[in-house]
Amino acid sequence: MPEIYDIAIIGGGPVGLFTGYYAKLRELKTCIIESLPTLGGQPNTLYAQKKIYDVPGFLGITGEDLTTKMIEQLEMFDCDIYTDTTVKTITDDDGGVKVLQTNKQDITAKAVIVAVGNGAFNPRRLAFDYDPQLDEQNVDYFVKDINKYRDKDVLVAGGGDSAVDWSIAIDNISKSTKIVHRRDTFRALGASVTKLETTNVTKVTPYLIEGVQKADDNKIKVTLGKARDKDNKRDIIVDNLLVNYGYTSDTKMLRDWGLDLSGPYIKVNQKMETNLPNIYAVGDVAEYDGKLKLIVSGFAEGPTAVAQAQLKIYPEKSYYEHSTNLFDNQ
Ligand SMILES: Cc1cc2nc3c(=O)[nH]c(=O)nc-3n(C[C@H](O)[C@H](O)[C@H](O)COP(=O)(O)OP(=O)(O)OC[C@H]3O[C@@H](n4cnc5c(N)ncnc54)[C@H](O)[C@@H]3O)c2cc1C
């Protein structure tokens, strides 16, 4: 018999992490399922080095540091975490238990809290085929550890906030940094573009990447071309290429799950209930009148969803709890 969780949380972004922590605080058997290899959602993936100024208790905290703190908090309890695991379908078994079919194993739970943000996101990839082995060493779509670029020749591709911010950050530690963009002007915030001018980052514009090939000494040859000048090509040899072309997010599965949607988001009531029994939604994916898509909004929605789920699963337990009463904290 597979283990039946009280609550399965889909999504390991900040809201899923806090909701998981809160469910464990209430001693509910809980798991968090995350499609990416790492936890943290948007703050850790899209703006790891940017400071967030509207999380209470912090004068400013980077997306990466917030994620580290939240994982530490979650580790106070024994919460089961499934990373690299994407929920594909949700069905009910004969007894009304939810069966979450993933790309790996099935996971069963009495209640489900959907915290999938803007959906399973994937980076926009280079638009041509290249040797997939280069993805292991030379071509990146995420910055997992900036130190990878220390003393290296790095080419960053893209014209938005991420590309410009990463170029600036990488320039501090790399041997050389270039940024390639298909236009002469960058889309990033004005302040970031101004800052870029003060660095040693070389701008290579207006060029598009047309090919990537293995070169000597574990380097790669990146071939650039101009959209309206087909004969104007140039090659750049670098150690690493960081592609920042943005992300696509996929919420199509929500429709397949039978959830009542408002655009790509899940309609919820004040109890965070969806149209389906024992399925709740929190965080960016949860939609109601006046919704503010902020981390703190999700931090309030998580406890509501957990308390509601608990009320259904264990009606004898107290709905309302202060955490100060839960442990002997003298
Ligand atoms: C550039 C930028 C700056 C921002 N700045 C701020 C700010 O200053 N302050 C603020 O409050 N907010 C800010 N936000 C918004 C904030 O990041 C979001 O409100 C927050 O991340 C929502 O958290 P979440 O957990 O609901 O969703 P997400 O962070 O999107 O996490 C959802 C997680 O669910 C996973 N997932 C999706 N589908 C599945 C599936 N089927 N199976 C398993 N896992 C799945 C995803 O991989 C993802 O990790 C910013 C956003 C951006 C893009």
State the DSSP string of 137-197: HTEESS-S-GGGGTTSEEEEE-SSHHHHHHHHHHHTTSSEEEEE-SSSS--S-HHHHHHHH
- Which structure tokens are listed for 206? 């207006």
Atom of ligand 1 nearest to the CA of 54: 9
- Burial class (CB within 10 angstroms; exposed 0-12, middle 13-18, buried 19+) of 287: middle
Give residue 237's pLDDT: 98
Q: Give the residue, by CA position, lying nearest to ligand 1 atom 2.
A: 47
Tell me the one-letter amino acid at 200: N
State how far the Cα of 230 lies from the Cα of 326, in Å rounded to an integer. Answer: 68
Distance 38 CA to ligand 1 centre (A): 13
Residues of 228-267 as b/e, b for ≥16 C-beta within 10 angstroms?
Answer: eeeeeeeebebbbbbbbbbbeeebebbeebebebeebbbb
Distance 296 CA to ligand 1 centre (A): 12
Ligand 1 close to Cβ of residue 293 (< 6 A): yes
Distance 225 CA to ligand 1 centre (A): 35
Atom of ligand 1 nearest to the CA of 11: 34
Give residue 251's pLDDT: 79
Distance 48 CA to ligand 1 centre (A): 12
Distance 108 CA to ligand 1 centre (A): 24
Distance 175 CA to ligand 1 centre (A): 33
Q: What is the pLDDT along the chain (330 residues), one digit of tens a residue?
A: 568 999 999 999 999 999 999 999 999 999 999 988 889 999 988 888 789 999 999 999 999 999 999 999 999 999 999 998 999 999 999 888 999 999 999 999 999 999 999 887 778 999 999 999 999 899 999 887 899 999 999 999 999 988 998 999 999 999 999 999 999 999 987 888 999 999 999 999 999 999 999 999 999 999 999 877 878 899 999 999 999 998 777 778 898 999 999 988 999 999 999 999 999 999 999 999 999 999 999 999 999 999 999 999 999 998 888 888 877 666
Give whole-number Cα distances, 262 to 259, 277, 278, in Å.
10, 18, 19
Atom of ligand 1 nearest to the CA of 36: 47
Backbone CA torsion sign across 311, 316, 317, 318? positive
Ligand 1 close to Cβ of residue 87 (< 6 A): yes
* CB-based contacts of 158, cutoff 8 Å, min separation 6: 179, 181, 243, 244, 245, 246
Q: Give the residue, by CA position, lying nearest to ligand 1 atom 41.
A: 87
Domains of the chain: 4-121+247-325 (3.50.50.60), 125-243 (3.50.50.60)
Distance 220 CA to ligand 1 centre (A): 33
State how far the Cα of 128 lies from the Cα of 222, in Å rounded to an integer. Answer: 12
Give residue 236's pLDDT: 97
Ligand 1 close to Cβ of residue 20 (< 6 A): no
Atom of ligand 1 nearest to the CA of 121: 47
Give residue 150's pLDDT: 98
Ligand 1 close to Cβ of residue 47 (< 6 A): yes
State how far the Cα of 28 lies from the Cα of 318, in Å rounded to an integer. Answer: 13
User: What number of H helices and E strands is found in the chain?
Assistant: 8, 22
Q: Give the residue, by CA position, lying nearest to ligand 1 atom 10.
A: 294
